[in-house]
Amino acid sequence: MTPMPNFSLEGKSALITGAGRGIGRAIADVYAQAGAHVFLCARTRTEVEAAAAELTAAGYKAEARACDVTDVAAFRAMVEQLPRLDVFVNNAGVNRPKPQLEVTEEDFDAVVDLNLRGAFFALQSVTRKMVAEGGKASVINMSSQMGHIGCENRSLYCATKWALEGLTKSVAVELAPHNIRVNTICPTFIETALTKPYFENPEFLDFCMSKIKVGRLGQVDDITGAALYLASEASALMTGSAMMLDAGWTAD
């Protein structure tokens, strides 16, 4: 018989940025349940320490690492001190929605600094370590449906996510000889504490629902299955690709 796909992360080590809340926290929870030793990284120490404590109290393997991804030297030093890494979820990100005509230099610097510069050098720090340790690893860059389309009031965010898609494909080609796979997850709008204020605007909510084909907003547990698939051996043939979890937004 054809064997069942292997979704286990038993014996693997995973680093997740932006893991204090939302999508990052949900992915850390699922990876821990799948057997991984998870390192939860975020700027807010209290959040990642509380999350790691909850996981360890439940019998899972988890540690907190308070670090700002935009501090390239500090993040690199933190990564170098970790044990072998098998999975990296490059998840930390930010958005400042407004019309392109109103984007300030401060807006640009803040969003690009985290979504692109921070993501780029975090990826570099982790993949250097993965290559030095012999490869056979998986990287997941958290992108967006906005890395594949345009959208009103999101020119800056789209610019960073389109760049992340190009970065992912390039690095996937470079690292394939080391057996390191690099892919993106591209969600639609997911209900989190960060996005909740957006949906309090009836016009914006109606706009989203006009684009979403499945009739509901996304939840964090809509993302974790794809994250587990990409981290596991079940996706061994997948690299340089984007998993579209967009509820049909980009289908037309």
As a whole number, the mean pLDDT across the chain is 97
Name which of 123, 113, 72 is nearest 93 in CA terms. 113
Q: Do the beta carbons of residue 134 and residue 177 sit within 8 Å?
A: no
Residue 5 domain flag: no
pTM of the model: 0.96
DSSP codes, 88-106: EEE---------GGG--HH
- Position 173 scores a pLDDT of 98
Residue 32 domain flag: yes
Tens digits of residue pLDDT in 112-161: 999 999 999 999 999 999 999 998 999 999 999 999 999 999 999 999 99
Number of folded domains in the chain? Answer: 1
Tens digits of residue pLDDT in 178-202: 999 999 999 999 998 888 888 999 9
Name which of 163, 154, 59 is nearest 117 in CA terms. 163
Name which of 177, 149, 168, 132 is nearest 241 in CA terms. 168
- Position 125 scores a pLDDT of 98
Within 8 A by CB and 6+ apart from 190, the residues are 22, 23, 217, 218, 219, 220, 222, 223
Q: Which range of residues forms the domain containing residue 179?
A: 13-187+223-242
229 is catalytic: no
Residue 210 domain flag: no
Instruction: Report the CATH number at residue 152.
Output: 3.40.50.720
Name which of 37, 200, 191, 167 is nearest 90 in CA terms. 167
Residue 230 domain flag: yes
- Position 196 scores a pLDDT of 86
Tens digits of residue pLDDT in 52-102: 999 999 999 999 999 999 999 999 999 999 999 999 999 999 999 999 999
What 3-state DSSP class applies to 179?
coil
Residue 251 domain flag: no
Residue 89 domain flag: yes
Tens digits of residue pLDDT in 224-244: 999 999 999 999 999 999 999
- Position 132 scores a pLDDT of 97
Residue 23 domain flag: yes
In the block, residue with structure tokens 């958005």: 95
Exactly one of 31, 60, 157, 229 is catalytic; which is it?
Answer: 157
Torsion, Cα of 33, 39, 44, 46 (10° steps): 60
Cα separation, 87 vs 181, whole angstroms: 10
Residue 4 domain flag: no
